[in-house]
Structure 1
Amino acid sequence: MRVADERLDAEWLRSWCGQADAALAKLMESFQARHGFEPGSNVVVHASTASHQATDALVELTPIPSDLTTMYWVIAEVSLPDVENGCFVHPASLVADHFREYGAVQIDGEEPALVFASDGGGHLFALAGSGRVWRSTTASWFDQFDLAAAGLQEFFERLSRQISGQL
């Protein structure tokens, strides 16, 4: 269980990236044989100078949870269309565009949360200032959000289990 002041560790996330890259490579090798069609582009895009600039612009636009800043310092985006029903961690530039258009997500008992990801069904994932990750119950910015993970580390651990579950 997450302790309130426990924050996402950049080194842990870098290690996760290496493990996810290896597991995705293995998954893509056997994907077509297992499923009968070519996979999409399933990638973890590592942060770059351009993504760091986009993260800085997002930080200037709105106060964002520190774990999200840490994540974007390591990962630019994640695109997993072929892992379960899909998971997409949006690049910081898209998060900024969505914030300008829709604002923060209001969740009872939480500071406003910032949408940073979605799944293949259009459900949104938002990170609150508490560090908790919330998932929309519908494909909407304005409906209810339910607790999805105690923090980003748990969110990424679940992604790893989803990738491994398809091997």
Structure 2
Amino acid sequence: MAGIGSARRADWIRRWAAEVDTAAARMVATFEAVYGFPPGANEVRLAGVGDRVAADRYRDDPLAAPWMADFYAVVAEVSLPDVGNGYFIHSAASALGLRDECGYAFLPHADDPRGLVIGSTGAGVLFVADWGGAVHRSVAASMDADFEPVADSVEHFLHRLRQVVHEFVDSGTVQDL
């Protein structure tokens, strides 16, 4: 999907969001009966006007991955606390707030060793997108931890997250991302 325009990318992101949100809704419908406690808010929240303003501010960051900026123009955030250990894609405003508070994440395996935190797991492991769009995962719950590559693009990361969601919803199997 490299090299496609933002409009086609936005359509792909909308389809991805609908598919993941539908899978999460299926999980929530039977969650308490299966696991014995009520689920949290498992959803893909689409971007509103304020979220799109934050997406534009994110796009202005010199280390922002264009794919991630396009994602934020469509999807405000993803909250999947009950999928495995929990997966979250933070809002653009949260990503920028963390950058302002803590700086950029250091990525020793990337071409440019800095990136913006875009998400986390329920255990606090961080996901960081570098300016080229590759996504890295911290080996511990810290901005000071080492990071390892987990996807060569934001699109690949989203594909993998969708697979993790479907696998958990369909079989209860917890996969790492």
Q: Is the 8 A contact 1:7 1:67 kept in 2?
A: no
The one-character-per-residue Cα deviations of 1:23-66 (angstroms, maximum 9, x if unpaired) are: 11111111111101100000100011110111223334554111
Distance 2:84 2:58 in 1: 29
Residue 18 of structure 1: how far off its partner (Å) = 1.2
Backbone CA RMSD of aligned residues? 1.9
Distance 1:152 1:7 in 2: 15
Map residues 82-161 of structure 1 onto 2, 5 A cutoff. Answer: 82-108=82-108, 109-111=110-112, 112-161=114-163
Unaligned runs of 5+ in 1: none
Residue 6 of structure 1: how far off its partner (Å) = 7.1
**Share of identical aligned residues, percent?**
32
Distance 1:67 1:102 in 2: 23
Distance 2:165 2:159 in 1: 10
The TM-score with structure 2 as length reference comes to 0.86
Map residues 6-85 of structure 1 onto 2, 5 A cutoff. Answer: 9-60=9-60, 62-85=62-85
Distance 1:106 1:47 in 2: 28
Give secondary structure in 1 for the equivalent of 2:106: coil
The TM-score with structure 1 as length reference comes to 0.90
Note closer, same or farther for the CA distance 1:107–1:6 as it changes in structure 2 (3 Å cut): farther
May I ask how many residue pairs the two structures share in their alignment?
Answer: 165
Residue 131 of structure 1: how far off its partner (Å) = 1.3
Q: Which amino acid aligns with 1:143?
A: A
Q: Which amino acid aligns with 1:160?
A: R
